Structure 1
Amino acid sequence: MIEFFEAIRDFTETGGQVLIVIGVLIFVMWLLILERVLYINITHKKLKKDITMQWRARKDRSSWFAEQIRQAHISRLSLKLNGSIPIIQALVALCPLLGLMGTVTGMIEVFDVMAISGSGNARSMASGVSKATIPTMAGMVGALSGVFASAYLTRTSKAERTHLEDALQLQRDIN
């Protein structure tokens, strides 16, 4: 376990301070993604079942008032379903930007080394180059993983809303 933390420390030292910010951002993003997946698979199913049972228990399912109640149920559940998806999408967009910031800070270090030791010393420039490339890579990896998860959550959210609309619509049309 100690070797694991030492490896992480060495990696963050190689990538610079921006890498720590990117790591925290990716961690928060994946916590929110995990929360949404758990919500969809556990809580949302219960709420959908409760709303469908409430709709079936109604005697009036065809009036204007019933339609407004139906729309309110669908809207409330849709708001809960979309919860933190916009925040996840914003964090996905921030990942490559922070990676770019890491690239700029690493290149500044390379230029500082070049100004001090001259342009021919490749060893002294290596740490700056690694500080320029590692945060870029980390930002892109975080963004790519987040894009796929965000697309899945958005698609699932739309599908679940459609399923709820269909379930309530079908119940209304039966009577």
Structure 2
Amino acid sequence: MTDLHAHWLRLVDGGHALLDFMAAGGMVMWALAGLCVIYWTLVFERLWFMHRIFPLWVEEHRLAWEQLDHLSGSWQRSVRTAWLAQAQQRLGGPLRLGKTLVALYPLLGLLGTVSGMIAVFDVLALSGTGNPRGMAAGVWQATLPTMAGMVLAITGLFSLARLERSARLALERLADQLRHD
């Protein structure tokens, strides 16, 4: 029972530390956290789509292509082009939202910098340079969202690059399967 109790206390302490961290960064940190949840939901949805849904779509179109491949005519090239364009849209279309979110991270971080510096200037206006603790809190509030925005942007760029590479490879595999011999 003591191990469970100790584990529970560590979990509660971690939750309090996270809430303190978020509060120190101001409202911008909460906006960044919300965008982060939306972004990673999109990333996991794309991974699920690429590994579960898209292969079924590819198999369905590959089988249809085998039926069309035996027929004569130049229209097969148009069908292939349309299917590849549709696949590209299904694979890459939602990634545009991810790119937008990644671009918003550093901008929100800069907004946090500005709001934190306003807090520093408020302390300076009210108490001059005699309140270093108040100024330090404002500087902390200014730098924390900037750091968080940059960290989120960097991880977002890496994950987007991975998703775009996977989408490109899946599209290339589909193009190879829809060759007209």
Q: TM-score, normalised by structure 1?
A: 0.92
1:103 aligns with 2:113: yes
Structure 2: any 5+ residue segments left out of the alignment?
A: 1-10
For 1:69, the equivalent position in structure 2 comes to: 79
For 2:30, the equivalent position in structure 1 comes to: 20
Task: Give 1:22 deviation, angstroms.
Answer: 0.6
Out of 82, 96, 99, the residue aligned to residue 86 of structure 1 is 96
Task: Give 1:64 deviation, angstroms.
Answer: 1.8
> Distance in 2 between the 1:133 and 1:22 partners?
14
- From the superposition, tell whether residues 115 and 69 of structure 1 become closer, same or farther in structure 2 (CA, over 3 Å): same
Task: Give 1:49 deviation, angstroms.
Answer: 1.4
> Distance in 2 between the 1:5 and 1:105 partners?
25
Task: Give 1:60 deviation, angstroms.
Answer: 3.8
Q: TM-score, normalised by structure 2?
A: 0.89
For 1:140, the equivalent position in structure 2 comes to: 150
Which aligned segments of 4 or more residues in structure 1 are displaced greater than 4 angstroms?
none
Out of 131, 154, 158, the residue aligned to residue 164 of structure 2 is 154
Out of 39, 57, 67, the residue aligned to residue 47 of structure 1 is 57
Secondary structure at the aligned position of 1:58 is classed as helix
Structure 1: any 5+ residue segments left out of the alignment?
A: none
1:11 aligns with 2:21: yes
Contact 2:69 2:76 in 1 (8 A): no
Q: Give percent identity, aligned residues only.
A: 38
